[in-house]
Amino acid sequence: MKAIFINHCHPKINHVCGVRAGRFAEIMAVRGHKIMLLTQTLADKNDSFPPPELERRLAAHDWQRPFQLSCLPSGDFDAIQARQGALPAGRQQLAVLWSFIKHGGMFPDWQTGVVPYISGLAKVFRPDVVWGTFGNTDTWRLCQQLAGQANCPWIGDLKDNWQAFIPRGLQTLLAGRFKDTAGMTVFSSAHYDQADAVFPNIMKTVLYSGVDMETSATGPADGFQLMLTGSIYDQEALVSLTRAVDEWSHARPEKNVIFRYAGNDGEIFKACAKGTSFSSRIEGFLGHAELHHLQSAAAANLYIYNPRCLLHYKALELIAQGRPVIAFPGETPEVKSLASNAGAVFFTCDGKEPVMQALDMIADTPTPPVRPDRLRDFTWERRTKVLESVLEHAVSRARQQS
């Protein structure tokens, strides 16, 4: 196949939003497909090129890897200031409403940067299918435009919470604009249920993101290392969690608890860890290799559960690390099932006592070794086969109908 993947986030951005589309594009290319990954440029690096260069660059490209097409945002829109919360309250709401109704999303500047390439992509690259990830509706609008000019199907990928990302009064209206999608991939069963209510007549397939397995579990490092990963979301939840760890650490001083945090909310963690009996370490935002090394060496990995996410990608990553996991203050039945199927030691704790009990069990009971065969379904390679099948089906059906 020749396919164009559209995702707002560049694959090299220091954020999880760039991972899913980027890794699927890489594996699809390895599997012999010609894949273009269309994204916005990085904030600190303009790796775009003028549209007239497209044909020459396509001809010279090594298709064993995706063709990266980065588009520089362009134009002056109220939506830019609205995204930054820089407008007065009344004007802010009008700017959001106007941007969604007129431009189809909150990133019209990115759409403007992409539009000059669409005609050339349709005529020169001639994709068989377009696949676009919803982090925003601008991506799906671009999918429609490109697929329309190329006369090919497009597939919508719902990786984020539609109800959380789209203003309540616009959810039905905007959903109606994307009825022409040839199918949908959804990030989890929870996303499937949400999509079924919003897009009832569209065929959907659950497509979990994969996990990089380059770091195997190495066992605990010196001391009793706890590793908290990712966004905090709820500071009160973190306060409760650190109090539980503090009380357990105080009760078991021989364990020498070292509580690490990796993510962008280091100042919040620092404030919550002040005056506790454990040693705290703030790692900041880490690259995958370094992060996975710390996670695989931890006595336990922890994260703050946020129901708005429907499914946390980091939950999949932590399950695959082979170390015990504590989700606080809870988790969904879907994630618990995934953990159970993988043979993971997985605790969902909703208060101090469950956390302390979990830490007792982790400290006193050796963690069983991970069975690689039970983690096979977590790999990017296995997940990519699902996406490949969805795209091939859409292409085949479109050819039969033409």
Distance CA 98, CA 90 (A): 12
Q: Check residue 217 and give its pLDDT.
A: 47
Distance CA 56, CA 97 (A): 40
Distance CA 330, CA 352 (A): 12
Q: Check residue 148 and give its pLDDT.
A: 97
Q: 335-369, pLDDT tens digit by residue?
A: 999 999 999 999 999 999 999 999 999 999 988 88
Average the pLDDT over 209-226 and give the result.
73
Distance CA 300, CA 259 (A): 10
CA dist 199 → 54, 113, 129, 167 (Å): 35, 29, 20, 16
Q: Check residue 306 and give its pLDDT.
A: 97
Range scoring the smallest mean pLDDT among 173-177, 289-293, 313-317, 396-400: 289-293
Give the confidence band of 381 by pLDDT, cuts at 50, 70, 90: very high
Q: 236-258, pLDDT tens digit by residue?
A: 999 999 999 999 999 999 999 99
Percentage of residues in the chain having pLDDT higher than 90: 89
Q: Who's near 59: CB < 8 A, 6+ residues apart?
A: none
Q: 60-115, pLDDT tens digit by residue?
A: 999 999 999 999 999 999 999 999 999 998 999 999 999 999 999 999 999 999 99
Q: Check residue 289 and give its pLDDT.
A: 83
Token reading at 46: 């303009």
Grouping H, G, I as helix, E, B as strand and the rest as coil, residue 258 is strand
Average the pLDDT over 134-143 and give the result.
97
Residue 395 sits at φ, ψ, to 5 deg, of -65, -45
Cβ-in-10-Å burial (0-12, 13-18, 19+) of 46 comes to exposed
Q: What are 3's strand-pairing partners?
A: 35, 129
Pairing of strands 325-328, 279-284: unpaired
Describe the chain by its helix, strand, coil percentages, rounded to 5: 50, 15, 35
Give the CA angle between residues 206, 5, 146 to the nearest 5°: 115
Is pTM beyond 0.85? Reply is yes
Grouping H, G, I as helix, E, B as strand and the rest as coil, residue 373 is helix
Q: 50-64, pLDDT tens digit by residue?
A: 999 999 999 999 999
Percentage of residues in the chain having pLDDT higher than 70: 98
Give the confidence band of 221 by pLDDT, cuts at 50, 70, 90: low
CB 167 within 8 A of CB 96: yes
Q: Check residue 366 and give its pLDDT.
A: 87
Q: What is the 3-state secondary structure (H, E, C) of 18-52?
A: HHHHHHHHHHHHHCCCEEEEEEECECCECCCCCHH
Q: 153-163, pLDDT tens digit by residue?
A: 999 999 999 99
Q: 293-308, pLDDT tens digit by residue?
A: 999 999 999 999 999 9
Q: Check residue 189 and give its pLDDT.
A: 97
Q: What is the CA radius of gyration of the chain?
A: 23
Q: Check residue 214 and give its pLDDT.
A: 62
Q: Who's near 76: CB < 8 A, 6+ residues apart?
A: 109
Please confirm whether the linkage preceding 354 is cis (ω < 30° from 0).
no
Give the confidence band of 373 by pLDDT, cuts at 50, 70, 90: confident
CA dist 162 → 11, 16, 227, 249, 309 (Å): 22, 18, 30, 40, 10
CA dist 259 → 223, 255, 267, 273, 346 (Å): 10, 12, 14, 9, 18
* DSSP at 139: H
